[in-house]
Amino acid sequence: MSIVVAPPTKVTAAGLLSELFPMVNVTITNNASHEVWYMCNNKGGPHDRLYKLGVGGVSQWAIRDIGFPLVWCYMHINDGIQGVFWGFLPKYRCDRHCDWWVKDDGLYLYTRYDDGQYIWLYQDGEYF
């Protein structure tokens, strides 16, 4: 009878944090036929003012998934389509990537589970 003993592993606080709360990459791509304006409240991305995203433009940043939403974004697609959305929510099932596509008719989320799910932009203070 032989016993196999695995070598001890060093668990660091940073490693444990990364394992329990992984980083999620958020990408917004403008596939509309015109420029759009947006702003998000996170520190890792565009957060201090409205930013213009030109046709075909891409904005990317990473956030830590701690199990509840911390990142909201305001998007102005046109005068009829504008409002707030959560940049990341666990229910979106983004895994480690949330890919947002802006189109002329609205905002869409692409994940490995959903191939272009339309996302409603909250308006008039109904953000939750």
What does the pLDDT read at residue 52? 94
Distance, CA of 90 to CA of 31 (rounded, Å):
25
Question: What is the band of 25 on the pLDDT scale with cuts at 50, 70, 90?
Answer: confident
Q: For the whole prediction, is pTM greater than 0.85? A: no
| Residue 68, pLDDT score | 62
Instruction: Copy the structure tokens of residue 13.
Output: 């606080």
Give the SS3 label for residue 32. coil
Residue the block writes with tokens 């009829």: 80
Contact 121, 102 (CB under 8 A): no
**Residues ≥6 apart with Cβ < 8 Å to 115:** none
- How confident is the model over 75-98, as pLDDT tens digits? 999 988 888 887 766 556 677 788
Domain topology for 13-119: Immunoglobulin-like (2.60.40)
